[in-house]
Amino acid sequence: MAIQKENVDVLLAEGFKELACRQPIEKITIKAITDKAGVIRPTFYNHFQDKYELLEWIIRVQILEPAKPLIFAGLVDEALVLMFTLVQKDRAFYGKAVYLEGQNSFEAITKKCIQEALLEVIQGGGRNRKKAHPWLTPEHVAEYYAQSMCFVVVSWIKSGMMVEPKEITDIYNYMITRSMSQVIEEL
């Protein structure tokens, strides 16, 4: 009986996450991931180019995809709480993954995933409003919010996720709804 592609992706992701909790991601081999998942090595390459693409899949599918319906429904705060809750649920994995540095850093992969998801939401809105400024393209807006969200996510994970998902959502909203002058004044 053949295993479905989605099931193999999940097996590889769960094996990778389990290994990442015990050793640095840089030291995890594809063979170790496939052994953990119970599949042969060529199967990995039928699904992912490398472990960094697998990490991207985890962020995209397990964190961002569940939140998209909420965002499309205009429930952005609920989507943020859900995403923070999903990260917190896998705290051991994300607590290690956040320290992945270099060309394929956790921060870069996360920012890319958030930016792509936001761009999809912005472009999927189908609005034909007059722009406040020509520079404010969907790409610039998605990049800005991806950068700010990524900063909050990475800082929150590195600080041990001690602030609950609802509270970190409120903190993020506080920061993005005020001017820099207001925030500095209110510190």
**pLDDT digits over 83-121, tens only?**
999 999 999 999 999 999 988 999 999 999 999 999 998
CATH architecture of 5-48: Orthogonal Bundle (1.10)
Cα–Cα nearest to 83, from 63, 101, 59, 65: 63
107 contacts 50 by C-beta, under 8 angstroms: no
Phi, psi of 104 (to 5 degrees): -110, 50
Class of the 55-186 domain?
Answer: mainly alpha
What is the torsion angle, in degrees rounded to the nearest 10, for the CA atoms of residue 70, residue 56, residue 84 and residue 14? Answer: 110
So what's the pLDDT on residue 1?
Answer: 43
Phi, psi of 33 (to 5 degrees): -65, -45
User: Domain-by-domain residue ranges, the chain?
Assistant: 5-48, 55-186
Which tens digits make up the pLDDT trace of 35-56?
999 999 999 999 999 999 999 9
Phi, psi of 170 (to 5 degrees): -60, -40
169 contacts 80 by C-beta, under 8 angstroms: yes
pTM for the model stands at 0.90
What the block records as the tokens of 70 is 């909420």
More confident residue, 2 or 69: 69
